[in-house]
Structure 1
């Protein structure tokens, strides 16, 4: 599982956009978005850099750590 810190995620629409980007990259991913902490916890089989790229392509700078 990876935790992504997502900049500029400030509302429910933003969280929905981030989740959609993650699911587009990996439809099988399990995702928990926390708007308050501006994080997304993602269980995926993809390389996390691919998920990070999808989030950034959606317009949200992000970084990740393994948890």
Structure 2
């Protein structure tokens, strides 16, 4: 698990499979951004990593459901 203290809240990095392009990044960012408390999402297709900043620690199952809704698979926390 990778967590950093920031002024925005809790930062968590997840590994996601299936991302290949900017459209993939945008689709994941849009779905994960809809989770209550999420303030920032950065998806990077080349590494498969999704960095999420939220006001409080996130429920991994909520993130998994959002990634699944976007059409990708959450492997777990980095």
After TM superposition, the score normalised by the length of structure 2 is 0.70
How many residues align structurally?
Answer: 66
Residue among 21, 24, 30 paired with 2:34: 24
Greater C-alpha Rg = 2
Structure 1, unaligned runs of 5 or more: none
* Structure showing greater relative contact order (alpha-carbon pairs closer than 8 Å, 6 or more residues apart): 1
Higher strand share: 2
CA offset digits 1:4-63 (Å, max 9, x no partner): 111110011111000000112236432222221011011222312211211112110112
Structure-to-structure mapping, 1:1-67, within 5 angstroms: 1-26=11-36, 28-44=38-54, 45=56, 46-65=58-77
Structure 2, unaligned runs of 5 or more: 1-10
| Runs of 4+ residues deviating >3 angstroms | none
